[in-house]
Copies of this chain bind each other. A is one copy, B any other.
Amino acid sequence: MAGLTRGHGDAPGPGCDPRAIVTSSSSTARWDSRPGTEQDAVNAGPVTEPSMWALDRAVALHPEGEGWSGQVPPHWTPNGAAHGGVLFALLVNGIQRIAPHPHPLSATAHYLRPTAAGPVQVTAHVARSGRAHATVEATLSQHDRPCVRALAVVGTLPAEPACTELRPPPLPAPDACTSIAPRTHDGFMPRDYPHDLDIRLDPQVGWLHGEPGGRAEIAGWGRLSDGRPQDLVSLALMADAFPPPIFDVVPTTYVPTLELTVHVRGIPSGQWVRGQFGSKAFNQPYVEEDGVLWDEHGRLVAMSRQLAVVNQRDPA
């Protein structure tokens, strides 16, 4: 295990000495740090114009009852069940609306049952609000049944990049990586993989070429297909947007998430995130997936971990 050591800083910038960091100025950016988005419009009152960005349309919330209503678009329901990442982004969107601090620091989602395309309800409430942190609970329901439960702690991320030894994986440029879109019909990827996502994997990943290499590790680039800038809502999606690393080890097409936790470690900027995901233990049918995400400037922005169920195909 390579640990945090004194004297190393996150690129770019000089090395950091954690012992020298005693005070910190704080960013005042909201979770959604882009100017003039639909979220600002919702915060300011009723939405009158749909967002220009596909993801913001997919996770749009409209006040209704004690929470909000939303709509899961059909193309975000591969295998007939909604993509876990877009449901997580919907919940983060709801959490943001009531959070007394600007940034989610850690958010956990439990997936109780599949969510279908169509209307959903999101509720959120502050369980405890303190000076520096608050805890928020949120639920996404469909037909009055809870589908996803979330717990999050919100606070204020420091403006400085994290002091870390974690480094973005070396990768060819996105255009030299392998898009997973054409792979959606070869049996490895679910059909109808959401076309709003643009995921490009390191071409060294074996299963992309029909030659699983037996190593549960992937790295690649991810963005929204329409070039939407990353923020903390899209980061929630990106934490669950890469194919399961176990694809390279076990024949499976469906690895539903039981629980997903994301630690937000920085506010992303730019279109692309660079992701590295791996699994280290498989107690059949359970596998964990650890991920690290950097923005396109090499800043560490998130660490994710999920527990998922591997539905195996019979080996040939």
Given contacts A128-B146, A217-B3, A288-B263, contact A250 B18 (CB under 8 A): yes
Determine if A314 and B22 form an interchain contact, defined as CB atoms under 8 angstroms apart: yes
Contacts of A52 in B (CB 8 A): none
Name, among A110, A217, A290, the residue most crowded by chain B CB atoms within 10 Å (CB to CB): A110
Contacts of A246 in B (CB 8 A): 4, 18
Residue of B with least CB distance to A251: B19
Name, among A18, A19, A135, A164, the residue most crowded by chain B CB atoms within 10 Å (CB to CB): A18
A108 vs B250: C-alpha distance in the bound complex, in angstroms?
Answer: 28
Contacts of A47 in B (CB 8 A): none
Q: Produce 1/0 per residue, A272-316, CB < 8 A to B.
A: 000010111111111110100000000010010101000010110
Contacts of A250 in B (CB 8 A): 18-19
Given contacts A149-B127, A286-B105, contact A315 B20 (CB under 8 A): yes
Q: Is residue A173 within 8 Å, beta carbon to beta carbon, of the partner chain?
A: no
A305 vs B305: C-alpha distance in the bound complex, in angstroms?
Answer: 9
Contacts of A279 in B (CB 8 A): 3-4
Partner-contacting stretch, out of A33-41, A155-163, A187-195, A227-235: A155-163
Q: How far is the CB of A158 from chain B (nearest CB, A)?
A: 5
Residue of B with least CB distance to A161: B283
Determine if A4 and B166 form an interchain contact, defined as CB atoms under 8 angstroms apart: no
Determine if B163 and A135 form an interchain contact, defined as CB atoms under 8 angstroms apart: no
Partner of A259 from B106, B157, B276, B303 at Cβ < 8 Å: B106
Partner of A3 from B105, B258, B261, B280 at Cβ < 8 Å: B280
Q: Is residue A44 within 8 Å, beta carbon to beta carbon, of the partner chain?
A: no
Determine if A215 and B3 form an interchain contact, defined as CB atoms under 8 angstroms apart: yes
Partner of A166 from B127, B161, B280 at Cβ < 8 Å: B280
**A residues at B contact (CB < 8 Å):** 1-7, 10, 18-22, 24, 105-106, 108, 110, 112-113, 127-128, 130, 133, 135, 137, 145-146, 149, 151, 153, 157-158, 160-166, 214-217, 245-246, 249-251, 258-259, 261, 263, 265-266, 276, 278-288, 290, 300, 303, 305, 307, 312, 314-315
A-B residue pairs in contact (CB < 8 Å), sample of 27: A1-B276, A1-B290, A3-B280, A4-B249, A22-B315, A105-B286, A106-B110, A106-B258, A106-B259, A108-B151, A108-B261, A110-B127, A112-B127, A113-B130, A135-B149, A149-B151, A153-B258, A153-B307, A158-B285, A158-B286, A162-B282, A162-B283, A261-B261, A263-B288, A263-B307, A266-B283, A303-B305
